[in-house]
Structure 1
Amino acid sequence: MEVRIFKPAKTAMQSGRGKIKNWVMEFEQTDRATPDDLIGWVGSSDTRKQVSLRFDSKEEAIEYAKKHGHTYTVQEEKTRKIKPKAYADNFAYSRQEPWTH
C-alpha cells in the first residue's frame, strides 16, 4: 500500500496555526470514485482514503509505515518567511512611494 507523509498547511479560514504541528499519514487512493446511478452521489469501495493518522514527528510516521509494510512518500515541510511589518512604516519618511488613498 502506498502512503503519503506530510505536514499540513495552515487553513485559509483561520489565522491560528494550531493543527499544523503534527505530521499526517494518508493512504493513496486505489479505487476510482464513481457516481451512484440512483442518487448521483460519488462513492468508492476504498475506505482507506477516509483514514488519516497523525504523528508527532516525521520519523514516527516513517517507522509506522515501515512496521506495517507500506511504501511511503515524504513531502518535506515548507518553511514560511515572515516579513516583520509595522503600521508606522506606512508613514515613514524613507518610503519609496507617497502614501495616498
Structure 2
Amino acid sequence: MVARIYRPAKTAMQSGKAKTHRWVLDYEPEVPRSVEPLMGYTSSSDMKSQVRLYFDTREEAIEYARRNKIPHRVEAARERKVRGASYSDNFKFDRVSPWTH
C-alpha cells in the first residue's frame, strides 16, 4: 500500500491559509468502497484509509515513511497565485476589463 505525502490546499470555505502549512501522510485505498445494499451506506474494509498523519515539514513525513518502511509518493506543494488587486479596483473608472453585470 502506497502512502501519499502532500500539503493540503485550502478549502473553498477558507479565505486564509489556516491548516495548509502542515504536511499530510495518508494511504491510498487498497479496496474500493462498496455500497451496503439494505441501507445504502458507503463502507470500506480497508482500515488504513482511516489513518491520516500530520507533520510540520515534508522531510519529517518522508523520514517517518522511510523509518517504517512505508512505500510513499511525494506530491509537490502547489503555491496559489495571488492577485495584486484590491476590492476597490472593481470600481475604478479606467478598469481594464468591462463591467459584466
TM-score normalized with structure 1 length: 0.85
Per the alignment, residue 68 of structure 1 pairs with 68
Partner of 1:18: 18
What is the DSSP-based 3-state SS (H/G/I as helix, E as strand, rest coil) of the residue aligned with 1:19? coil
* Structure whose alpha-carbon radius of gyration is higher: 1
1:91 is matched by which residue type in structure 2?
A: K
Q: Percent identity?
A: 41
Larger mean CA deviation between 19-28 and 80-89 belongs to 80-89
Alignment coverage as a number of residue pairs: 100
4+ aligned runs moved over 4 Å, structure 1: 97-101
For structure 2, the 5+ residue unaligned runs are none
Aligned-pair Cα RMSD in Å: 2.0
Aligned counterparts of 2:38 and 2:100: Cα–Cα separation in 1: 59
- Other-structure match for 1:36: 36
TM-score by length of 2: 0.85
Shift of 1:48: 0.9
